[in-house]
Amino acid sequence: MLDDWQPLLQSDINAVAIATPVPTHHAIAKAFLEAGKDVFVEKPMTFTVAEAEDLVATAKAGGRVLMVGHLLLYQPAVHWLKEYLDGGKLGQIYSLHQERMKLGRARAVENVLWSLGVHDVAVLLYLVGAAPASTSFSGHCGLQAEIEDDTYLHMEFPGGIKAHLHNSWLWPENRRRLTVVGEKGMLVYDEIAQNITLHRKIIDAELQNCDGGDEVVFEGSGQPLKLEMEHFIDCIKTRATPRSDGQNGLEVVRVLETANDTN
């Protein structure tokens, strides 16, 4: 029962993990934050920006750790990508293209962007290091009248970087791939194979194609769920700000809500 958490508010535990249905996240997380507990809440943090802003403010006012379960931010390959891009090794970043499609479980409440794309939005914001300046969205309802099974999200960031996300739970293949196009080449992260390939392919200032071949530059997968929980525990002990803190969760919800509003 969803009310079973109530007695924990008066307990001496100092932290909780919330993995209840999304519409209940705000009320439960706020109650624990106000009771002086640190909180880990599964993605998406809330269904509205207003609720997300309220949780961020409540955590800040009480000096509590608020962390959101954006699991892919703890995948070693994503961390490697972040360091590579921040180090300028790809030069100017032009665009990011994320695909997450499969024959998946259709939902009756949220569309496929909210169901499958939450992690992807979190990763794109993390890699770019900024919130988008503008967002556009389109989707197709096939199985149900008002629930999109196939969606396209487009974001433009300050500085001109653009990101494109394609999600579908009505697709013949399982595709989970991120392509980053930059000034000095292109990176492809194959989430299924857990490797990153550098394609030394560019079009130069004279508009000539240059192909320097390709190379697998990262291989291997950690245990992102374990790493995520270890990070939460470390933040509880050190009072550090989590990689996927409440503000990060808020910015993801802001993108998703904006997509709803532009549909």
State the CB neighbour count (10 A cutoff) for residue 261. 9
52-77: per-residue pLDDT in tens?
999 999 999 999 999 999 999 999 99
Under 8 Å CB-to-CB from 192, ≥6 apart: which residues?
174, 176, 177
* Tokens matching residue 102: 């499969």
Do 86 and 211 share a domain, yes or no? Answer: yes
The most distant pair of C-alpha atoms in the chain lies apart, rounded to whole Å, by: 69
The closest alpha carbon to 89, from 195, 218, 191, belongs to 218
Do 65 and 105 share a domain, yes or no? Answer: no
* Domains in the chain, number: 2
Predicted confidence at residue 222, as pLDDT, reads 79
What amino acid is encoded at 79 in this protein?
A: H
* Tokens matching residue 261: 């509003």
Do 190 and 235 share a domain, yes or no? Answer: no
Q: Which helix (H) or strand (E) holds 15?
A: strand 15-18
Do 43 and 123 share a domain, yes or no? Answer: no
Do 63 and 22 share a domain, yes or no? Answer: yes
What amino acid is encoded at 49 in this protein?
A: V
Cβ–Cβ under 8 Å, residues 69 and 228: yes
157: domain CATH number is: 3.30.360.10
112-148: per-residue pLDDT in tens?
999 999 999 999 999 999 999 999 999 999 999 999 9
Determine the Cα–Cα distance for residues 37 and 45; give it in Å rounded to an integer. 17
User: What distances in angstroms separate CA 176 from CA 61, 81, 113, 149, 179, one per listed residue?
Assistant: 39, 16, 14, 16, 10
Cβ–Cβ under 8 Å, residues 15 and 39: yes
Do 138 and 197 share a domain, yes or no? Answer: yes
pTM of the model: 0.92
243: domain CATH number is: 3.40.50.720
Instruction: List the chain residues with pLDDT less than 50.
Output: 1
Do 81 and 43 share a domain, yes or no? Answer: no
* Tokens matching residue 184: 């000095």
Q: Which domain holds residue 148?
A: 76-221
Do 108 and 137 share a domain, yes or no? Answer: yes
Do 16 and 40 share a domain, yes or no? Answer: yes
Do 31 and 46 share a domain, yes or no? Answer: yes
Do 134 and 233 share a domain, yes or no? Answer: no
* Tokens matching residue 236: 């509880």
CA torsion angle 125 129 130 135 (round to 10): -30
Cβ–Cβ under 8 Å, residues 135 and 256: no
Predicted confidence at residue 2, as pLDDT, reads 56
Determine the Cα–Cα distance for residues 32 and 43; give it in Å rounded to an integer. 17
Do 129 and 207 share a domain, yes or no? Answer: yes
